[in-house]
Structure 1
Amino acid sequence: MSSESLKERIAEVLKLNRIGVLSTIKDNRPYARYMTFHHEGFTLFTPTVEDTHKVEDIEDNPYVHILLGYEERERGEAFIEVEAEAETATNPDDRKKAWSEKVAEKYSGPEDERFIVLVCRPSVIRYRNDDEPESAEEIHL
């Protein structure tokens, strides 16, 4: 598959799937949790609450693994694996990218200091599709 075609398929998975699994490492042990993701290009943004283990984990080790896709059969068998470096958003524009009506129930606005957004910048994205086993490819960013 061409690089552009691969990027288009990855973009389609990102567009169709907002809920995924974020994995971190703490004391050499993996921890995974479901998160809601927003994206701009291939950069992922996910809201969370202050004082969570995942924020502490990322402060100690910023490398994360994210799975998106696959869970809804009618959308196909495609999914992506993302290796990324994560950080807490400090840029107000990045915080706005993860703002939603659901988040608005808990916070006064994207500027609320309690509203935390994790920014995940991928280094590798692997695309897989069980309907097309030969489709397992990756891009390095």
Structure 2
Amino acid sequence: MNQDQLKQRIAEIMDENKTGVLSTVENHQSYARYMTFVYKDMTLYTPTNKETYKTEEIENNKNVHVLLGYQGEGFGDEYVEVTGNAEIRDDKNLIEELWFDDLDNWFDGKEDPKLVFLEIKPESIRLMNGKGEPPQTLDL
């Protein structure tokens, strides 16, 4: 698979799988939690409350790891592995752009002062478990 095909396949997996696992590190201990992701130009975004442990962990250590995909079918069930750096973003224009209606379950609208998005800039994106193929890394 060439780089254009790889990028397209990664984008398809990101489009089809909005729920993934975000891992952070605090005091040499890893923490993982399910999050909802959206992406633009291979940058991932996930909404969260700015008063959570994960935001504190990211303030102390910006290194994160994300898994998206894998449907539990086993062999050949592709998924995407993203290693990157996270930033906490409370930019109102970004919140307006990325807002989706399900967020009403956790926040009091787009103006909720606790709403932030984590912006994950990838250092590495790999397509994993491609029907017996070795992992393939997207050139960034």
TM-score (norm 2): 0.90
84-93 vs 21-30, which moves further: 84-93
Counterpart check, 1:90 vs 2:90: yes
Cα 1:16–1:85 shift into 2, 3 Å: same
**Displacement of 1:95:** 1.8
Counterpart check, 1:134 vs 2:133: yes
| Residue of structure 1 equivalent to 2:118 | 118
Tell me which stretches of 4 or more aligned residues in structure 1 moved more than 4 Å: none
Number of residue equivalences? 139
Give me the CA root mean square deviation: 1.8
Cα 1:65–1:127 shift into 2, 3 Å: same
**Displacement of 1:140:** 3.7
Say whether the 8 Å CA contact 1:129–1:136 is kept in structure 2: yes
Residue segments in structure 2 that go unaligned for 5+ positions in a row: none
**Displacement of 1:130:** 4.4
Amino acid at match of 2:38: H
Amino acid at match of 2:85: E
Residue segments in structure 1 that go unaligned for 5+ positions in a row: none
Task: Name the SS of the counterpart of 1:134 in structure 2.
Answer: coil
Deviations 1:59-111 (A, max 9, x none): 000010000001254xx711010001101113223223442212124434323
The correspondence of residues 1-141 of structure 1 with structure 2, limited to 5 A, is 1-71=1-71, 73=73, 77-131=77-131, 133-141=132-140
Amino acid at match of 1:6: L
42-51 vs 23-32, which moves further: 42-51
Tell me the distance in 2 between the aligned counterparts of 1:105 and 1:70: 26
Seq. identity, % = 38
Tell me the distance in 2 between the aligned counterparts of 1:55 and 1:62: 10
